[in-house]
Amino acid sequence: MDILYAPWRAPYTKSTLNNSDQCVFCTQPKDNNDDQSLLLSRHKYHYIIMNKYPYNAGHLLIVPFEHVDALNALSQEACHELIALTQSSITILNKILKNQGTNVGINLGKASGAGIPDHMHTHIVPRWTGDTNFMPIIADTKQISVDMVNMFTELKPYFAELKTEGF
């Protein structure tokens, strides 16, 4: 059996669950400091943000503005936008990062592995052949060899051009 062990994410999930009653996914877009939050683009129903505790370089989150915990709680229009943004995000990452594959996932509920189960979000994780190794298991260390701020700066213009009106 393979086990996904990601201890480097513990500080993030603990901080978002225990610091206050406010949801990090609700407060980040309201802060209006997109560069500090690594928020790439805003759309009618969702925003796209870089994951500050990524599984891999370029790990993005597509987050609904509405605080919902389930995919079926979104309107049909919001679901359509989510799929369109997922497609566009994959296209941009493939173009810029030259990744060889992509994981797309939505963890609904704590039992599914959701770190923030009360506010659903979609993960877009670029993958490369051989991007996993022994470091996270043996040394409790995940190596991300790309500076997130530089990556944000490189990706931002492409996400700024995304239009979802009428898909």
Q: What is the 3-state secondary structure (H, E, C) of 121-133?
A: CEEEEEECCCCCC
Residue 103 lies in a domain: yes
Run of H or E including 154 = helix 148-160
Residue 110 lies in a domain: yes
- How many structural domains is the chain composed of? 1
pLDDT of residue 132: 64
Q: List for the chain the helix, strand, coil content (%; round to 5).
A: 40, 15, 45
Residue 166 lies in a domain: no
CA distances from 110 to 43, 99, 113, 157, 161 (A): 27, 29, 5, 34, 34
- Write down the residue that tokens 């229009």 correspond to: 77
Range of the domain at 96: 14-160
Sign of CA dihedral 105, 68, 64, 32: negative
Helix axes 76-97, 148-160, angle to 10 degrees: 120
Q: Give the domain CATH number at 27.
A: 3.30.428.10
Residue 94 lies in a domain: yes
CA separation for the pair 44, 46 (Å, rounded): 6
Residue 4 lies in a domain: no
Q: With pLDDT > 90 as the criterion, what percentage of the chain qualifies?
A: 59
pLDDT of residue 166: 57
CA distances from 129 to 26, 29, 56, 70, 126 (A): 35, 34, 12, 32, 10
pLDDT per residue as tens, the chain (167 positions): 445 555 555 555 555 444 456 899 999 999 889 999 999 999 999 999 999 888 888 999 999 999 999 999 999 999 999 999 999 999 999 999 999 999 999 999 889 888 899 999 999 999 988 766 444 444 444 555 567 889 999 999 999 998 766 55
Query: Which of 43, 46, 59, 121 is the catalytic position?
Result: 121
Q: Among this protein's residues, is 59 annotated catalytic?
A: no
Mean pLDDT, all residues of the chain: 83
Residue 5 lies in a domain: no
pLDDT of residue 74: 97
The structure's pTM equals 0.81
